[in-house]
């Protein structure tokens, strides 16, 4: 299969502008600059590209919400916060092929009429940020950025904004808040960023992988893209696989490849002999699946039908023997650590959840703890300000749904039901 996003990843020094051009880069943007902005938006709509940041919102549709008034400043923000546990796909593009992202951003900015774009990259990605900044410098030097890029009348400035350690900044309005120099707490919607985003101006926020698809769509046409994978979630997807598989790593595959194929054909199966106990298909916010679900195709709708999410397609594979109380504790601890503190149920609820799970995990469970956890889930879910709190619930509910008896066992026996490797 032809790769779109990782096609240059293994080529030597692919991050250099010259090499990117040699590999066929910066052709699409020149083609785009000769098109009408609306035509580009229509092309992306026709390609049926859905956002790769998690929610799967159609990219072309999102762009079309931006007001057309040329006197209003508009912005593009690339979401490179990559914080969803299990996810490491965007980093690869930024480290190895930053010009792909830049080209995607150039086309997008032109389409929505933005003269300024930011890459909001998570603070820990020192290397990636440096690579991006170098790439931007190279592009300016070549006249690919700045005034009248590629000789067109379109001018564009791109900047890198570095985060500093906060998962919530991946949420788009928190990202904007952070870009404006504040604490990354989500903003109320409406107004949606498309009308009042960065500095209260119309703003599009797209994930790195989403933007990385744009050059190919422009170059090869929407029909070509739409023909890859399932009709409603076309294109390829970078699956980041971690956990107990033989060959963890990134795999760019057409949407809709079943989990089983990903794990057994591409990742070489499980590292030991143990069977699969659970798989998280889209980052820790996505409820886990079990062995019986492995034939589910990896696309937005099929995962939703299974009560989980494709999310960031970060696949975490757990073998038989993994303690699910511990998994639940770790994920809950994560959400409570990352809760921004704005809303009551998430701030207090995830912390309470974590305290209970911590006790359970350390042999101090009390009768009623499992029911308490379930009740806390009910009291948090759907009542938080942003989806982070929901994520914490979905992760825990997933574990409770399939492995409730392990939790009960922990309470009753003050120890693990499974002899985990680590114990």
Partner 1 sequence: MLTEKTLEKIQQIQKNYHSKKSAVMGALMAVQRDSGNNLTREDMEAVAEILEVNPVEVQAVAGFYTMYNWKKPVGRHHIEICWNLSCSLMGAEHLISHMEKKLGITLGETTADGMFTLSTAECLGSCGTAPMMQVGDDYYENLTVEKVDKILADLRASS
Partner 2 sequence: MANVKINGKEVEVEAGTLILDAARDLGHDIPTFCYQADLMGIGSCRMCLIEIEGQKKLQPSCITPVMDGMSILTDSPTVVSARSSMLEFLLTDHALDCPVCDKGGECELQDMVFKHGPRTGRHAEPKHTHHEKDYALSPVIIKNSNRCVQCTKCVRVCKEIVGVGVLGSIGRGIHQEETSFQKTFLDCDHCGNCIEVCPVGCFMRRPYRYTSRSWDLTSADSICTYCATGCRIVIEERDGTLVRSRAQLGVGLNSETLCARGRFGYDIVNKEERLTTPMVKKYGKLEPATWEEAFSAVERGLKGCAPERIGGLISARMTNEEIFLFSKLFKGSLGSSNVDSSMRWTPEAVEGFAAATSMPEGGASLFDVMASDTVLVVGTQLSDENPVVDYIVRRITNANGVRVAIASSRAMKLDSSASITLRHAPAAEGSLLGATALILADSGADKLAGNSDVQAGLGTIKGIGVDSLATSAGLNRKEIEELVSRLGSSESVGIIAGTEFLRFPEGSANLALFTEVLRGVGKTVTVVPVLDRCNQRGAWEMGAHPNLGTAYSSTDTKGLGFAGMMDAASAGQMDALYIAGENPVIDYGEGNFARDAVDKARFVIVQDTFMTETAAMADVVLPGVTFAEKDGTYTNQEGRVQSINRLLKGPGSAKSDLEIISTIHNIISGTEETPAQKAAGVFGDIRAEVTSYASVDLSFNNKKNTFNDLDNKGSLVGSASASIAVATVAGSAAATIAGEGPAGFTLVTGNHLYHSGRLTLRSEILDGFVKGAIVELSSEDADRLGLSTGDTVTVAGSRYTADLTLKVRKGSVNGMAFIAENFNDVLVHKFFKHGESVASVKIARS
Residues 128-187 that bind ligand SF4 (CB under 6 A): 168, 186
| Residue number, 28 or 205, with CB nearest to partner 1 | 205
In angstroms, the CA 366 to CA 215 distance is 56
Minimum distance from residue 389 beta carbon to partner 2 (Å): 10
Residue 239: both structure tokens together: 């699956």
Q: Which does 188 bind (CB under 5 to 8 A by kind): ligand FMN, partner 2, ligand SF4, none?
A: partner 2
Q: What is the secondary structure of 241-296 as a DSSP string?
A: EEESBSS-EEEEEETT-BHHIIIIIIS-SBSSSPPEEEEESSSTTSPPEEGGGTT-
- Cβ–Cβ < 8 Å for 56, 233: yes
In angstroms, the CA 328 to CA 350 distance is 12
* Among residues 347, 359, 383, 415, the one that binds ligand SF4 under rule CB under 6 A: 347
| Residue number, 51 or 248, with CB nearest to ligand FMN | 51
Using the rule CB under 6 A, give the single segment among 1-9, 77-85, 246-254, 341-349 that binds ligand SF4.
Answer: 341-349
Q: What are phi and psi of 4, to 5 degrees?
A: -105, -45
In angstroms, the CA 299 to CA 309 distance is 9
In angstroms, the CA 196 to CA 203 distance is 7
Minimum distance from residue 345 beta carbon to partner 2 (Å): 6
| 198: three-class secondary structure by DSSP | helix
Residue count (the chain): 423
Asked if 137 interacts with partner 2 (CB under 8 A), we say no
| Residue number, 85 or 254, with CB nearest to ligand FMN | 85
Query: Helix crossing, 369-380 with 344-361: angle to 10°?
Result: 160
Q: Which residue is nearest to ligand SF4 (CB)?
A: 346
Alpha-carbon radius of gyration of the chain: 22
Asked if 60 interacts with ligand SF4 (CB under 6 A), we say no
| Residue number, 17 or 205, with CB nearest to ligand FMN | 205
Asked if 166 interacts with partner 2 (CB under 8 A), we say yes
Minimum distance from residue 421 beta carbon to partner 1 (Å): 8
Site string for ligand FMN, 43-82 (x = CB under 6 A): --------xxxxx-x---------------------x-xx
Asked if 341 interacts with ligand SF4 (CB under 6 A), we say yes
Site string for partner 1, 109-148 (x = CB under 8 A): -------------xxxxxx---------------------
Site string for partner 1, 215-234 (x = CB under 8 A): --------------------
Q: What is the secondary structure of 186-211 as a DSSP string?
A: PPPSSSPTTTS-GGGS-EEEEEHHHH
Residue 80: both structure tokens together: 């490179």
The contacts found for 55-60 with CB under 8 angstroms, 24 or more apart, are 56/233, 56/300, 56/310, 59/206, 59/210, 59/214
Site string for partner 1, 261-280 (x = CB under 8 A): -------------------x
| Residue number, 198 or 228, with CB nearest to partner 1 | 198
Residues 283-302 that bind partner 1 (CB under 8 A): 284
Asked if 206 interacts with ligand FMN (CB under 6 A), we say yes
Helix residue spans in 324-386 (DSSP H)? 324-338, 344-361, 369-380
Going by C-alpha positions, the residue among 116, 119, 120, 41 that lies closest to residue 73 is 116
**Residue pointed to by tokens 């032809």:** 2
Asked if 422 interacts with partner 1 (CB under 8 A), we say yes
Q: What residues make contact with partner 2 under the rule CB under 8 A?
A: 166, 183, 188, 336-345, 347-352, 355-356, 359, 366, 372, 375, 379, 382-385
Q: What residues make contact with ligand SF4 under the rule CB under 6 A?
A: 168, 186, 339-343, 346-347, 384-386, 388-389
Q: What residues make contact with partner 1 under the rule CB under 8 A?
A: 82-88, 90-91, 122-127, 159, 161-167, 178-184, 199, 240-244, 248-250, 280, 284, 314, 316, 318, 322, 326-327, 330-331, 334, 337-338, 340, 421-422
């Amino acid at each position: 299969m032809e790769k779109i996003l990782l096609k240059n990843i293994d080529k030597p020094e692919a991050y250099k502008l010259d090499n990117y051009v040699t590999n066929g880069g910066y052709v699409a943007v020149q083609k785009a600059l000769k098109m009408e902005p609306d035509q580009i938006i229509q092309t992306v709509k026709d390609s049926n590209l859905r956002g790769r940041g998690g929610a799967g919102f159609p990219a072309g549709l999102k762009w079309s919400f931006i007001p057309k008034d040329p006197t209003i400043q508009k912005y593009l923000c690339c979401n490179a916060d990559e914080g969803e546990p299990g996810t490491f796909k965007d980093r690869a593009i930024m480290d190895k092929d930053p010009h792909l992202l830049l080209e995607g951003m150039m086309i997008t900015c032109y389409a929505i009429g933005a003269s300024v774009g930011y890459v909001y990259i998570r603070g820990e990605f020192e290397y990636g940020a440096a690579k991006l900044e170098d790439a931007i410098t190279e592009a300016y030097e070549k006249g690919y950025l700045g005034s009248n890029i590629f000789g067109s009348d379109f001018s564009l400035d791109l900047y890198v904004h570095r985060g500093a350690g906060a998962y919530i900044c991946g949420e788009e309005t928190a990202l904007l808040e952070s870009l404006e120099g504040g604490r990354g707490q989500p903003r109320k919607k409406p107004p949606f960023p498309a009308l009042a985003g960065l500095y209260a101006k119309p703003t599009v926020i797209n994930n790195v992988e989403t933007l990385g698809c744009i050059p190919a769509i422009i170059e090869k046409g929407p029909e070509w893209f739409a023909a890859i994978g399932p009709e409603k979630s076309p294109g390829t997807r970078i699956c980041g696989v971690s956990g107990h598989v033989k060959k963890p790593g990134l795999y760019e595959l057409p949407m809709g490849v079943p989990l089983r194929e990903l794990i057994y054909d591409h990742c070489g199966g499980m590292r030991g002999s143990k069977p699969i106990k659970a798989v998280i298909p889209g980052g820790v916010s996505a409820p886990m699946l079990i062995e019986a679900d492995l034939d589910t195709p990896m696309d937005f709708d099929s995962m939703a039908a299974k009560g989980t999410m494709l999310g960031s397609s970060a696949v975490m594979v757990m073998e038989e023997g993994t303690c699910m109380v511990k998994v639940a504790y770790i994920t809950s601890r994560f959400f409570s650590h990352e809760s921004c503190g704005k809303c009551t149920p998430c701030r207090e609820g995830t912390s309470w959840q974590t305290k209970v799970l911590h006790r359970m995990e350390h042999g101090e469970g009390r009768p009623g703890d499992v029911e308490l956890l379930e009740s806390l889930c009910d009291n948090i879910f759907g009542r938080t300000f942003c989806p982070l709190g929901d994520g914490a619930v979905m992760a825990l509910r997933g574990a409770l749904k399939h492995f409730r008896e392990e939790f009960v066992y922990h309470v009753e026996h003050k120890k693990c039901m499974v002899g985990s490797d680590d114990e």
